[in-house]
Amino acid sequence: SEHLQQARIPSGSQEKVSVPDSVLEMSESQVAVAPLVTSKLSVKAPEFYPSGYNQNFAVSDSSFEDGYDGYLTLAEYVQDFLNHLAEQPGCFETEIEQFAETVNGWVTADETLQELVELVYQQATSVPNFSYMGARLCNYLSHHLTISPQSGNFRQLLLQRCQTEYENRDEAAKGDETARKQFHAFVLFLAELYLNLEIKGTKGQVTRAEILQEGLRELLNVLFSHPVDNNLMCAVKLLKV
């Protein structure tokens, strides 16, 4: 405004006003210069992994492609794969064939077959939300394991293991908190097993194991016979399945 007054030009005039260079120089000198920021990031920093990601397992993923190389026991190999399925259930379709092929080369005796059944059963009844995946795995192995000893094939041994737990249903339903929790996990796994375990008939027809449905009906009665809160909650979950 001071320059406008000196030039005697009204403030509303459209004429161009010449601004001295000294004014521009003064304005430029007053512009703040942003300080240079030095990054603390390094190209040598370790790889980033999101929370919950199992870095150790990522290293061993290739083990499933190479069979059981690097594993000392069947239990180590199977447990590693079961943990892998629990963390990444989407890999079931792409890796189950290789897993079954490897297990077929390892399970060649009654003892190892029984060990395999127990490993799968424990995973399906102890790891939260693994009952469905465990049932799918059991169905696949029951059709693709080649070993069939006189003591029973995979499906027969699995049902025998479930029968052992089934016979203790009354004691478990009225037991302490830990006993009931284990019992509930068994009930829900058996429900998933009934839905997913396919039995092929002599003519190639596929049916379900009807004996499991009868067992589930009895388990439901046992849960209602001991109507504490978590027994009733398990009964409702069973009905939903």
**Residue 177 C-beta-side C-alpha neighbours within 13 Å:** 0
Q: Which residues contact 49 (CB under 8 A, 6 or more apart)?
A: 55
* Predicted pLDDT at 209: 85
User: CA torsion 116→200→209→164, rounded to 10°?
Assistant: -30
Instruction: Tell me the C-alpha distance between 134 and 137, whole Å.
Output: 5
The DSSP output letter for 226 is S
CA dihedral sign, ordered 207, 208, 211, 213: negative
Whether the CA torsion 200, 204, 208, 209 is positive or negative: it is negative
- Which residues face 200 on adjacent strands? 206
Tens place of pLDDT per residue across the chain (241 aa) = 455 444 444 444 444 445 455 444 444 444 444 455 555 655 555 554 444 444 443 334 444 445 556 778 999 999 999 999 999 999 999 999 999 999 999 999 999 999 999 999 999 999 989 999 999 999 999 999 999 888 899 999 999 999 999 999 999 999 999 999 999 999 999 999 999 999 887 777 788 888 899 999 999 999 999 999 999 999 999 999 9
For each of the domains in the chain, give its residue range(s) and CATH number, in order of start. 74-240 (1.25.40.180)
- Amino acid 46: pLDDT: 56
